[in-house]
Structures are given as C-alpha cells and as structure tokens.
C-alpha cells in the first residue's frame, strides 16, 4: 500500500512564484502586442515557462511511500529511492534547490553519498511511516 505526503508550502515561496508569474505575464503581454509571425513564439514560450512551470511544481510536489521505495515527484522531476538504500533522515533548513516547497525540510541520504531534500507537511508522521516500512 502506498501513502502520499504533500509538500509543505511556505508563503514566501508562493509570493515569489506569483510575483515572477505576474512579471512574466506583463512582459509577455507587452511583447505580444508588438510581435508578429514567428516572433510570437518567444513571448508565448516565456509565458508558458514563467507561469506553467511554477504552477506545475506547486501542484505536483509530493512524496509517495510504497513498501519498496520513496518516490519524490516535483513537476517534471522524479526520484525513485529504494527504502533499503536510505541511510539517514535528518531535519534541515538548507536552502539548496530541491523538490521541497518549504525550508522546513528533511535531508534524506541514500546510496553512496546521494541526498534529496524534501518537505512533507507532517514530518513526524512521514518519518514514522518510512521507518516502519524500512523495518518490515
């Protein structure tokens, strides 16, 4: 059986993403007014990337625990980590780019020197669930 944990989302991150999307939208509208033909592709691509990608990340960042692995999904990015390879889980507020929408994070170490930073809404429940599955 699998359990899905949504990412905690910091308000400041939402504000930054909304500001970037609004800026991109404004710039695209100005460009679309003066563009014609093939020139339309640039503002349309900027609009798609500037609004579409942040919304995709906000809508799909999640962590799924199965009996065999931890699956991390964030927009177009995917990690599949076998539970047997996880060596440690520690709290962190490391701001490195990661599939976490909050700075209230967990550092999951696995394999030989690999790590991923995640931010499940209920960290305690996530850790208990993961440890229970690893012990089984």
102-123: pLDDT as tens digits: 999 999 999 999 999 999 999 9
Residue numbers of the domain that contains 87:
3-7+63-135
Same domain, yes or no, for 119 and 67?
yes
Structural domains of the chain, count:
2
pTM reported for the whole predicted model: 0.86
Q: Are residues 38 and 84 in the same domain?
A: no
Looking at the structure, tell me whether residues 46 and 67 fall in a common domain: no
Q: Mark which of 35, 57, 79 sits at the end of a domain.
A: 57
Alpha-carbon distance values, 106 to 24, 71, 93, 118, 120 (Å):
32, 14, 8, 5, 8
CATH number at residue 97: 2.30.29.30
How confident is the model over 54-73, as a mean pLDDT? Answer: 96
Q: Are residues 42 and 78 located together in one domain of the fold?
A: no
């Amino acid at each position: 059986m699998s359990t899905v944990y949504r990412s905690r989302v910091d308000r400041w991150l939402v504000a930054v993403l909304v500001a970037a999307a609004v800026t991109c939208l404004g710039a695209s509208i100005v460009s679309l007014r003066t563009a014609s033909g093939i020139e339309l592709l640039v503002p349309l691509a900027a609009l798609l990337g500037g609004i579409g990608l942040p919304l995709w990340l906000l809508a799909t960042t999640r962590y799924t625990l199965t009996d065999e692995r931890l699956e991390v999904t964030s927009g177009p990015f995917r990690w599949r980590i076998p539970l047997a390879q996880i060596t440690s889980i520690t709290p962190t507020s490391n701001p490195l780019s990661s599939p976490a929408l909050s700075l209230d994070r967990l550092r999951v170490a696995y394999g030989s020197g690999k790590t991923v930073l995640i931010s499940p809404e209920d960290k305690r429940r996530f850790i208990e669930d993961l440890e229970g599955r690893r012990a089984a």
